[in-house]
């Protein structure tokens, strides 16, 4: 590889992607492709920490790849692969499990949330989820990990594990940094704007799926919860303004314009007008991605070829780190 810095990220094929996933993660990956060597994966091994229907998981994994490409990730520039097709991830995860403390994992917010939501299936994989994620990142000697705000705690534990390992064995891993987008790092629910927009929200009005009909998307935005004050103004941290703050952030993320500039343009206008404008901007942002997606998803051969190439390439790179680790811990190689 050349001397460009390395980017690694991924999304789980656990459901239809939301506008939050798109704006918080994937959209930002596109612009990084020229400046960095980028590796983007479909994190299917993380997905089975929650029970899945096998046929759906298989289908959604390729759909996610099609969506990456439709969003502008170029398979000629970036490495795209399916996590389970590269055995180095599970292999490094096992080793790192032995260098991670139960106490550290117990503090993870996502584990607490998910074990509360899936009380019938609190499995060991859910608990060690951040260790597999650390393996994903560390295998590629990653410099930056572009993710939404909710994942920063997982990046922190990844750094802690890497530093601990390096402390024992010398410089084996590059210490990665999280990379947050300027806007869109935390898109909130349209119905409960104090909660993050999530694809597993039981109320579909709370989130916008990238697969929703464009008319449905517009309707969901128009029925977003706001307040009775009637003022279009961004007030960070003010719970009364959570709905309007969210719509301003969404507008900013889809248009690339600053929040203040947008707020100034709509100051004095009614919420109805503003929501109409946000709805139109979001639809125009999603429309071209959807059109590309509809075209790409039909070509299964193209998609499976990309996965095969990505699995091979990513394994080659990952192997270098894995070999070093195996040697350091004392395995015969």
Task: Give the catalytic positions in this structure.
Answer: 114, 196, 199
The binding track of 165-204 with respect to ligand ATP, each residue x by CB under 6 A or -, is -------------------xxxx--------xxxxx----
Give the ranges where the chain is alpha helix by DSSP (H). 19-21, 27-32, 44-47, 54-71, 88-97, 102-106, 109-117, 124-138, 152-169, 214-222, 242-255, 259-266, 271-296, 300-329
179 binds ligand LTN (CB under 6 A): no
**Ranges within 248-277 binding ligand LTN (CB under 6 A):** none
- Does 8 participate in binding ligand LTN (rule CB under 6 A)? yes
CA distances from 302 to 1, 72, 188, 307 (A): 25, 16, 35, 9
Q: Check residue 18 for interaction with ligand LTN (CB under 6 A).
A: no
Distance between CA atoms of 26 and 44, rounded to whole angstroms?
Answer: 16
Site string for ligand LTN, 131-170 (x = CB under 6 A): --x--xx-------x-x---x--x----------------
Q: CA torsion, points 119, 123, 129, 130, in degrees to nearest 10? A: 80
Selected binder of ligand LTN within 6, 7, 10, 212 (CB under 6 A):
10
**Residue 16: other Cβ atoms inside 10 A:** 18
Using Cβ positions, the residue closest to ligand ATP within the complex turns out to be 24
Q: Is 39 in the site for ligand ATP (CB under 6 A)?
A: no
Of residues 32 through 51, those in contact with ligand LTN by CB under 6 A are: 43, 46
CB–CB of 216/290 below 8 Å? Answer: no
Number of residues that this document lists for the chain: 333
> What is each CA distance from 125 to 111, 147, 156, 158, in whole angstroms?
10, 21, 19, 16
Select the binding partner of residue 142 from ligand LTN, ligand ATP, none (C-beta < 5 to 8 A, by kind): none
**11 sits near ligand ATP (criterion: CB under 6 A):** yes
Q: Note whether 138 binds ligand ATP by CB under 6 A.
A: no
Residues in touch with ligand ATP (CB under 6 A): 11-12, 14-15, 18, 20-21, 24-25, 147-148, 150-151, 184-187, 196-200
């Amino acid at each position: 590889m050349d001397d460009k810095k390395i980017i690694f990220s991924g999304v789980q094929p656990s459901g239809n992607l939301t506008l939050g996933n798109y704006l918080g993660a994937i959209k930002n990956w596109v612009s990084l492709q020229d400046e960095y060597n980028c590796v983007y994966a479909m994190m299917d091994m993380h997905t089975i920490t929650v029970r899945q229907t096998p046929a759906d998981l298989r289908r959604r994994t390729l759909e996610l790849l099609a969506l990456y490409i439709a969003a502008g990730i170029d398979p000629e520039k970036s490495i795209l692969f399916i996590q389970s097709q590269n055995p180095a991830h599970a292999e490094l995860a096992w080793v790192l499990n032995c260098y991670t403390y139960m106490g550290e994992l117990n503090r993870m917010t996502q584990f607490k949330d998910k074990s509360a939501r899936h009380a019938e299936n609190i499995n060991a994989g859910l608990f060690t989820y951040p260790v597999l994620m650390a393996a994903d990142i560390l295998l590629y000697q990653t410099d930056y990990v572009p993710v939404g705000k909710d994942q920063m705690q997982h990046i922190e534990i990844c750094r802690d594990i890497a530093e601990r390992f390096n402390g024992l064995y010398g410089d084996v891993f590059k210490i990665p940094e999280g990379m947050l987008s300027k806007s869109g790092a935390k898109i909130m629910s349209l119905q409960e704007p104090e909660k993050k927009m999530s694809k597993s929200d039981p109320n579909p009005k709370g989130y916008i799926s990238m697969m929703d009909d464009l008319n449905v998307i517009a309707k969901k935005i128009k029925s977003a919860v706001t307040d009775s004050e009637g003022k279009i103004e961004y007030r960070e941290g003010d719970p009364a303004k959570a709905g309007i703050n969210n719509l301003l952030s969404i507008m900013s993320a889809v248009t690339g314009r600053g929040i203040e500039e947008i707020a100034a343009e709509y100051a004095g206008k009614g919420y109805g007008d503003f929501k109409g404008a946000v709805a139109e901007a979001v639809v125009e942002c999603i429309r071209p991605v959807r059109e590309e997606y509809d075209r790409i998803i039909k070509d299964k051969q193209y998609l499976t070829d990309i996965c095969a190439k990505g699995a091979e390439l990513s394994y080659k790179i990952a192997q270098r780190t894995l070999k070093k680790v195996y040697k350091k811990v004392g395995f015969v190689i």
